[in-house]
Amino acid sequence: MAKTLLDKVWDAHTVRTLPSGQTQLLIGLHLIHEVTTPQAFQMLRDSKLKVRMPERTFGTLDHIIPTTDQTRPYADPLAEEMAVHMIRNMKDFSLPLFDMSTGKQGIVHVIGPELGLTQPGMTIACGDSHTSTHGAVGAIAFGIGTTQVRDVLATQCLAMARPKLRQVRVDGALAKGVYAKDVILAIINRLGVKGGVGYAYEYAGPVIDRMTMEERLTVCNMSIEGGARCGYVNPDQTTIDYLRGRQYAPAGAAFDKAAAWWKSVASAPGASFDDVARLDGGAIEPMVTWGINPGMSVGVSQRIPAPESAPESDRSTFREALAHMSFQAGQPIKGAKIDVAFVGSCTNGRLSDLRIAAEVAKKGKVAKGVRALIVPGSQQVAKAAEAEGLHEIFQAAGFQWRKAGCSMCLGMNPDQLVGREMSASSSNRNFIGRQGSPTGRTLLMSPAMVAAAAITGAVADVREILK
Amino acid sequence: MSAATDYTRRQITGRGIPLPGNDIDTDRIIPARFLKEVTFETMGQHAFEDARKQNPEHPFNSPVYKGASVLVVGQNFGCGSSREHAPQALMRWGIAAIVGGSFGEIFFGNCVMLGIPCLRASQEDLEWLQREIGRSPQSPMTVDVEKQEVRFGDRTVKATIPDGPRNQLVGGTWDSTAVLLEAGAAIETTARKLPYVAGF
């Protein structure tokens, strides 16, 4: 029978079937960061266990670090304590840490692919739900909790059940001004925030095939927002070209052998899926979320829907969303005033994201009263962007050029919303309180749309600005 | 924990606490700013902190539900972030079992790792349970993991959990490190067969 990538990778990493019926699955790459690991290392110490495969474990600092002054000790003593623990744990267990001094620090889901650590055919785990990002290269990548981090540290394995597989096909071609972020927001809008529960998503079709690796990373990043356990794209020439020359990718003759194996793990023609969903890429508009979960979105030309348009069971969440956001059903999303603009995060903090935001930034100046942040996803992204002069374009337009980190995606570092501020954000979650203020409001959109909102002072249609 | 600790989770009996609403994410259960801790010890104090401040009527504020151990929720509970701090916060608040329509998958897995069963029931039964708990918050209810049912008063409703986690919970093998370690050298054998481990 023609096997899918999920089947091939799962089978190759199966250590045994557990008495519970689950699979004991080997994890080929374990990425760790400061927030979800200190307790896991303590559990390891308490049980007198070692790290099973230290050579397959890599760490970085991303969630808690400030993006302005990164001199230690950090101003926030709690953040400093987390950094101290991370550095000590990595040292005590002899694990590599990409800290500031390496020039390779960054958001864990940005640096994994960037360093070539993330490779096709791998199983990858990290104590962060956006680990699904790494599926873009053709890996099966899971977000896990801290006790599972302990398991991976101690055994290099997880106890897991194989998810069902849904192929999500995006046909046609995207219009100008429509990006990978719009595609994944449209997918989540269509399939729902719980539509993926029990599934892995295989993204396919002409639109996905034509995407660059960075665009695929954006799509796979938000698989979890659609409820899917993980998401991936089959490895192809784009994948191989992306990995060539990266620090941890094989080199020389080994690269060609690797490339052949990588291609071989792709889903075979004729492989069958538990479900197939299709979207017309040509029909996707620039998307903007209006509510309190990533499925509550509309095209920028559309109006905020009425609760009555939703299934009965979702109506209370709908009403809660409208109340939290201070929106009226039927109101156009375009023109909604913003206070903050944020380009960055593991979803959209890569070089291509900054390039497109800079292209829009050239068309104007940050609107009066708007606080606009550009936060590169890694030190390497920052360096490459500065080499192209992107930081100067941003600064000339009134954007703040920051240092690498998770920043305003979540309220764990000094970059936070204040009070009821409305944020146009290239991040992944518009949950209540997500950006640090319990009453703060988030509108998710593409980096181009964030830049457009920044210079307009309100939600704008980037297609009109780029005309 | 001592060797005598009973890890089996065949059934959990306790008072209920209803939390209506769908898509309650882990940021809501515990806002990220409380994650800046190197232990889980304080998490219980911050369960639903912002939601409780914004809504005095929040069930976690109500003295009648103090001491409850069975949380009855809606659809897609625990979606979003992988933070184990969310189930840790609920557990340290006193929750020992959750009944809902569906669960965020990472949250569900994290709950299993802590020995907290999450069972799925129909929307109709969830609404009934939430109503009944509201009417008589002092009445005990039972989440029967083994039989996959929930009992309240004289009524029993169906509540399911996939076989794998059910076996782990009922068998007391949810603390998985020991189970995974039993594979021994098979772990390295599996790794060595992978070209990216063995070398291309």
Residues from chain B contacting residue A436 (CB–CB below 8 Å): 32-33
Instruction: Please name the residue that has the structure tokens 């076989």.
Output: B163
Q: Is A104 on the interface with B (CB under 8 A)?
A: no
**3-state SS, residue A31:** strand
Rounded Cα gap, residues B74 and B5, in angstroms: 32
The two structure tokens encoding residue A442? 């988030």
What φ, ψ does residue A105 adopt, rounded to 5°?
-65, 155
**Cis (ω within 30 of 0) for the bond into A73?**
yes
Among A residues 351-380, those touching chain B with beta carbons less than 8 Å apart = none
pLDDT of residue A138: 98
For residue range A152-170, list pLDDT tens digits in order: 999 999 999 999 999 999 9
pLDDT at A376 over 60: yes
Which residues in chain A have their CB less than 8 angstroms from residue B114's CB? 147
**Residue A315 φ/ψ, nearest 5 degrees:** -65, -35
State the pLDDT at residue A1: 80
Tokens 């069963």 correspond to B117
Per-state percent for chain B, helix, strand, coil, to nearest 5: 40, 20, 40
- Domain segments of chain A: what residues? 5-160, 287-465
Nearest chain A Cα distance for residue B45, angstroms:
17
Partner-chain residue, chosen from A28, A317, A411, that has the shortest CB–CB distance to B23: A317
Separation between Cα atoms, residue B155 and residue A275, nearest integer Å = 37
> CA of B120 to nearest chain A CA: how many angstroms apart?
13
A53 touches chain B (CB under 8 A): yes
Which helix H or strand E contains B151, and what residues bound it?
Answer: strand B149-152
Average pLDDT over residues A114-126: 98
Q: What pLDDT is attached to residue A313? A: 83
Amino acid A314: pLDDT: 87
Cα A249 to Cα A136, A231, A256, B196, distances in angstroms: 16, 22, 11, 10
Rounded Cα–Cα distance for residues B135 and A250 (Å) = 64
Residue of B9, B24, B25, B146 to mutate, interface with A, max A Cβ within 10 Å:
B25
Q: Determine the distance in angstroms separating the CA of A269 from the nearest CA of chain B, rounded to an integer.
A: 23
The predicted pLDDT at position A215 comes to 98
In this structure, chain B runs to a length of: 200
- Amino acid identity at A113: P
A218, β-bridge pairs:
none
Confirm if A124 and A134 have CB atoms less than 8 A apart.
yes
pLDDT in tens, A193-218: 999 999 999 999 999 999 999 999 99
Q: How confident is the model over A441-460, as pLDDT tens digits?
A: 999 999 999 999 999 999 99
Number of other CB atoms surrounding residue B140 within 10 Å: 15
Residues of B with Cβ-Cβ distance to A224 under 8 angstroms? 80, 106
Q: Is the dihedral of CA A135, A191, B125, A305 positive or negative?
A: positive
- Would you call B38 and A434 a contact, using CB atoms and an 8 Å cutoff? no
User: Closest Cα partner for A407 from A382, A376, A448?
Assistant: A376
In this structure, how many other beta carbons lie within 10 angstroms of the beta carbon of residue A216? 27
Whole-number Å distance between alpha carbons of A154 and A176: 48
Structure confidence at residue B1 (pLDDT): 42
What would the mean pLDDT of A74-95 be, rounded to a whole number?
A: 97
Whether residue A196 contacts residue A226, with contact meaning beta carbons closer than 8 Å, is answered with yes
Write down the CATH superfamily of domain A287-465: Aconitase, domain 3 (3.30.499.10)
The distance in angstroms from the start CA to the end CA of chain B is: 44
Q: Does A307 touch chain B (CB under 8 A)?
A: no
Mind telling me how many Å the CA of B180 is from chain A's nearest CA?
A: 6
Give contacts of A19 with chain B, Cβ < 8 Å: 167, 171, 173, 179
pLDDT recorded at residue B2: 44
Query: What is the tens place of the pLDDT at every residue in A59-71?
Result: 999 999 999 999 9
**What gap in Å lies between CA A179 and CA A26, rounded to an integer?**
35
And the tokens for A164?
């069902």
Per CATH, the homologous superfamily of domain A5-160 is Aconitase, domain 3 (3.30.499.10)
Residue pLDDT, tens place only, A123-144: 999 999 999 999 999 999 999 9
Q: At what angle do helices A213-221 and A180-191 cross, to 10 degrees?
A: 30
Asked if the C-beta of A441 comes within 8 angstroms of chain B's C-beta atoms, the answer is: no
What are A250-278's pLDDT values in tens digits? 999 999 999 999 999 999 999 999 999 99
Which of A109-113, A226-230, A245-249, A307-311 is least confident? A307-311
CB contact under 8 Å between A79 and B36, yes or no, is yes
| pLDDT per residue as tens digits for the range A289-328 | 999 999 999 999 999 999 999 988 889 999 999 999 999 9
Domains of chain B: 11-172 (3.20.19.10)
pLDDT < 70 regions, chain B: 1-4
- Identical fold for domains A5-160 and A287-465, yes or no, is yes
Q: Which residues contact A276 (CB under 8 A, 6 or more apart)?
A: A166, A167, A168, A169
